[in-house]
Structure 1
Amino acid sequence: MKQSIILVVCLFALVQARPDVSHLVKSTPEPHVPANPYVFSYQAGRAPGHVDRQHTEVSDGSGVIRGAFSYVDPKNQVRTVQYVADENGFHPQLSHQLEDSAAVKAAKRKHFETYNRIAQEHASQTPGQVALAAAPHTSAAVAYATKKHLSAFERIAAEHAAIGAQQEAQRLALAAQSPHGEVEDGQYHP
């Protein structure tokens, strides 16, 4: 009892000691303040005297930012990205063209072959035929998984029905034994 009173007093003190932050919430938006011009640049490296990354950025205060950053990639090649950030977003320009690996080239080729085949099939069909052709077909694996799922669902539903019937029978038996038949939630209430 003593601990409960102390807890209530502490909670009350915390609620009363809560600082008023209403002055931090402003109902009127602040006017747009133009950005100040700035310039920054840095270079860094993993070893003394070795530069493997650098960044330079300039803003003239009009909201347009121009910059560039460079780094040494895992293949020991210097990669540079020049960019402009303005009211329309971030616009990077890479100084290098990334090459696809053999696996990526094969995947792209397969994707475009499949895409072109499907596009040709659909080009010769009316819209109604395209919808019918696009309907998925059930594979043997999907049919097996569906049958297994439905079988488990039916088994579980039957188990739940049996449990419900057993609980109802227990409730009725308990009600029959009570003098006034007042049984709620399986509990006798005199």
Structure 2
Amino acid sequence: MKQLIVLVVCLVAATRADVSHLVTPEPKVPASPYVFSYQAGRAPGHVDRQHTEVSDGSGVIRGAFSYVDPKNQVRTVQYVADEHGFHPQLSHKLEDSAAVQAAKKRHFETYNRIAQEHANHTPGQVALANAPHTSAAVAHATQKHLNAFERIAAEHAAIGRQQEAQRLALAAQSEHSDIDDGQYHPEV
């Protein structure tokens, strides 16, 4: 049985061991230059999207893609991707729909209202006027919890007193006993 326990402990330790020093890092291969381009369409002879990309092997990628949007407008995005990220240039201005414009308006109104409320308070001051109020249900649940906590604390205190009384009684009894004189007396 001891051998099985030792085997399990060794297996668990082995699965948690750091073996990163045993892994050989892959060598950095220099980027190869490439060029690709494609055109596609939903119907034969009809092109509604295209993509071209060029890399000179130095890590800088330049490209462009075009597509026809749902409003039948050709949209083109030219881009450069380098060590600083992806940098697109759009051929068209993005416009928000009416729903997005309304949502942005509500967001900024709410943001500005909250910022103004916070600006009217000194640091560390609690905005009690804007603090949420406790509902009747939350107040009832809170009181119920506190009552249960107090009842359990009282029960634990009573159990503690009872155990202390038993310990003191046992200690008083053993002081008068010949068995416990502070010495160990094995049977002969």
In which range does the TM-score fall when normalised by the shorter chain?
Answer: 0.5 to 0.7
Residue 134 (structure 1) shift: 9.1
Give the CA RMSD over aligned residues: 3.0
* Within-5 A mapping of 1:107-186: 107-129=103-125, 131-133=126-128, 136-138=131-133, 144=137, 146=138
Which of 56, 60, 73 is 2:69 aligned to? 73
Unaligned runs of 5+ in 2: 1-21, 146-188
Residue 118 (structure 1) shift: 1.6
Distance 1:112 1:88 in 2: 31
* Within-5 A mapping of 1:86-105: 86-105=82-101
Which of 42, 46, 68 is 2:42 aligned to? 46
Residue 31 (structure 1) shift: 2.6
**Which has more radius of gyration?**
2
Distance 1:75 1:133 in 2: 51
Deviates more, 1:100-109 or 1:49-58: 100-109
Q: Is the counterpart of residue 55 in structure 1 residue 68 in structure 2? A: no
Residue 93 (structure 1) shift: 2.0
Q: Which amino acid in structure 1 is aligned with residue 58 of structure 2?
A: S
Partner of 1:179: none
Q: Which amino acid in structure 2 is aligned with residue 47 of structure 1?
A: A
TM-score (norm 2): 0.56
Question: Runs in 1 of length 4+ with deviation above 2 angstroms?
Answer: 131-136
TM-score (norm 1): 0.56
Q: Which amino acid in structure 2 is aligned with residue 89 of structure 1?
A: G
Would the alpha carbon gap of residues 80 and 139 (structure 1) be closer, same or farther in structure 2, given more than 3 Å must change?
Answer: farther
Residue 42 (structure 1) shift: 0.5
Q: Deviations over 1:123-181 (max 9, x none)?
A: 1211122x4459751475xx55x589x5xxx9xxxxxxxxxxxxxxxxxxxxxxxxxxx
Please state whether the residue corresponding to 1:49 is helix, strand or coil.
Answer: coil
Would the alpha carbon gap of residues 28 and 74 (structure 1) be closer, same or farther in structure 2, given more than 3 Å must change?
Answer: same
Would the alpha carbon gap of residues 107 and 134 (structure 1) be closer, same or farther in structure 2, given more than 3 Å must change?
Answer: farther
Please state whether the residue corresponding to 1:42 is helix, strand or coil.
Answer: strand
Would the alpha carbon gap of residues 41 and 132 (structure 1) be closer, same or farther in structure 2, given more than 3 Å must change?
Answer: same
Q: Deviations over 1:25-55 (max 9, x none)?
A: x733233111111111000001111100000
Partner of 2:102: 106
Partner of 2:18: none
Distance 1:57 1:134 in 2: 59
State, as a whole percentage, how many aligned pairs show the same letter. Answer: 79
Between the two proteins, the alignment pairs up a number of residues equal to 125
